[in-house]
Structure 1
């Protein structure tokens, strides 16, 4: 087996495979929080585009499992025994290591590159380029459940899983982890060691730490939604603009409460064939419901289920609405900037009822 591995490494050197991975932090990428477990994250740069990322809910979890070098030693020894050297070396490997109370499991997933890439230099042979990194994900599972927990995991995002042995031989990662934990303890503005807070910490090769979005894990936040649209109301096409101010109690709840303002513009021809505009404005209040991402405990506020609202007129011109008009509405479809409203207008409660529909574009 050892001879076979040496031959494989020699063949790889002859083929000339190199790694081409753009530098940059992983946790700030689009939808990164959906890929990594935990409400808080510590990302540590290890050099040569290799990265350690820890996802957790509570700071105490990191303190309890900060001896990551011991886990690396277990993985390196186990991976030597099961490594499939016949696989294409440009494939990305995702290794999932589940640590139980009495045993450990490992699952390997191979992802081929979408295209074969080469690099050319004058006077040299073409070099095949590996464009995707390998990942080692470490999860601690209980004896009663083998499910991957959503509150703590360790990730190594590396050019090759073989780099993990080199990282160990260069001193490991425990010291860098301790430096990151010290930065958390010494943070001046909040007690980030408290379970009430969540944060993202980025630690560079110079061991300097940068904090992003530190704050209460369950803090409420405001969301502003302006937009324009056109609707069919009382057998007329009616342009409109609107804006809503929504408060979300916290990102763990799939509900938001909003107040808003809608201005509708009606156009009518006069006796001398002139076109006259009438404006009718409503204020409204309502509630929105959102979905959760699969495998996530937090709501995804881009995945809208429905909204319901009730409105009253605050400005009227023309004979389109009475002062006692009540508007009942709902957003029955929303896809990013596009939304469809169904509305019912009535004079008082269910008197002179007429329906309307409005198509809007906005945030």
Structure 2
């Protein structure tokens, strides 16, 4: 059987590892199933404070980005910008020979004619083949990329859109789809989160899914984290339980996450005659909470978890003889799981007098 080499570009809607030939002069792997944290880690030069992803048919992807959410509205009608580009350069693209190379085009509609468009080709890193109608077919597995940039104005920062498309010749067939899906994404985002909040946030990320659900993440928004817990501890030869209420102010722009709280402790014993009794002591505390990124849990909409804390407390409610007046409590915390913490402590009064260690296990948030 005669096998003929066909130099054609096939649409690969099911490709899971296409290439994005858009960052600098190199090819990098690009997974169209975007995960915000993974995407930012893998492509730090591409994602900026506001990035919206619109998943199109056949594995094509549209990315809209700007420094603020309000600025991204400059490209909220991507079909209009795509139509302007196609009317000017569509005939040139259609005349290009069919190859498996990736085509990267950068277009600025407001620039001079000599600077309005730049073309680059990126070779496919390896040859891939399939059999179609008993003929050997060379497959195109790199995406073409169209970047359209709107320059900054007096009132608005610049905004950009990226169209990652199997074949740039198919652009006219995507105009209506880009308009409808982008409008739907923005509409649903603003129903879920106020645009003012989105714009104040250092980072907003939105995603259009194939089932028409929308995920919105304000990774940059500040939030107050409430951490109630109960604990069991051993302090100064006594077992005690406590009820804890802590509050952490998560400030996105700050490396320090301040924490305040109140710990009410209960010591149980037997009085004369065998009658059980208990005394209460209460500490107010202030300190820092430490976080680390994780893909397993979310706090709010952030893929983070509490990894520990360090606090200094002062005795404000004293009963019994467990503590002296003016007792201080220095406590650290280490998360054993999302709901269990080990908290070593040191109690002292005055200037580190009468030091005594303690240990608690807390269950809670």
- Provide TM-score, normalisation by structure 1: 0.56
Match of residue 51, structure 2, among 25, 41, 44: 41
Provide the alpha-carbon RMSD of the alignment.
Answer: 5.5
Match for residue 223 of structure 1? Answer: 225
Cα distance in 2 for partners of 1:240, 1:82 equals 66
1:109 deviates by 9.5
Match for residue 286 of structure 2? Answer: 285
Corresponding pairs, count: 288
- Structural mapping, 1:289-300, within 5 Å: 289-291=290-292
SS in 2 for 1:225: strand
Check whether the contact 1:285–1:310 (CA below 8 A) recurs between aligned residues.
yes
Check whether the contact 2:329–2:345 (CA below 8 A) recurs between aligned residues.
yes
Cα distance in 2 for partners of 1:62, 1:277 equals 62
Cα distance in 2 for partners of 1:102, 1:46 equals 25
Cα distance in 2 for partners of 1:218, 1:321 equals 43
Match for residue 81 of structure 1? Answer: 100
1:327 deviates by 0.9
1:103 deviates by 7.0
Cα distance in 2 for partners of 1:98, 1:345 equals 66
Is there any run of 5+ residues in structure 1 with no aligned partner, and where?
22-28, 84-95, 111-133, 141-150, 295-299
Match for residue 54 of structure 1? Answer: 64
Cα distance in 1 for partners of 2:197, 2:254 equals 22
1:32 and 2:36 aligned:
yes
1:339 and 2:323 aligned:
no
SS in 2 for 1:352: strand
Cα distance in 1 for partners of 2:121, 2:15 equals 30
Match for residue 155 of structure 2? Answer: none
Cα distance in 2 for partners of 1:233, 1:328 equals 13
Check whether the contact 1:254–1:290 (CA below 8 A) recurs between aligned residues.
no
Check whether the contact 2:48–2:203 (CA below 8 A) recurs between aligned residues.
no
Cα distance in 1 for partners of 2:226, 2:36 equals 23
- Once the two structures are superposed, residues 229-269 of structure 1 have per-residue CA deviations (whole angstroms, 9 ceiling, x without a partner) of 222211333322312111123x1322211211112222223
- Provide TM-score, normalisation by structure 2: 0.56
Is there any run of 5+ residues in structure 2 with no aligned partner, and where?
17-32, 41-46, 108-116, 127-140, 148-158, 296-301
Match for residue 361 of structure 1? Answer: 363
Match for residue 321 of structure 1? Answer: 323
